[in-house]
Amino acid sequence: MNKLIRPIKKALAQKYGYKNVSVKNGSGTAWGWVEARIKINEPKDKGEADKIYEEATRISREALKKEGLEFYTYGINDTEEFLLQLDY
């Protein structure tokens, strides 16, 4: 199991509810990907959705930092391998 999953799941579940959060390894050649899905009420507008997305990403980064971990990176520009989807 990817060691990044547990701290992210715990942190996001505290904010959004355990049953509303799913965190797993990505599939394909990049085994280090982390895919998170959060079920939320439909946002009033794109701005609200963007704020939730940014907050959830921040919460995830902070959870890893507390554990001395960070997202894996890939590519020339060191893009984080973290995929977040909001479901409503």
Domains of the chain: 5-87 (3.30.70)
pTM equals 0.86
Flag whether pLDDT at 79 surpasses 80.
no
Coil, helix or strand at residue 86: strand
Cβ neighbours of 20 (radius 10 Å): 14
Dihedral sign (CA 14, 25, 31, 49): negative
Flag whether pLDDT at 30 surpasses 60.
no
At 28 the pLDDT is 63
Average pLDDT of the segment spanning 3-11:
95
C-alpha radius of gyration, the chain, whole number: 13
What is the C-alpha separation between 5 and 26, in angstroms, rounded?
11
pLDDT digits (tens, 9 = 90+) for 34-71: 899 999 999 999 999 999 999 999 999 999 999 999 88
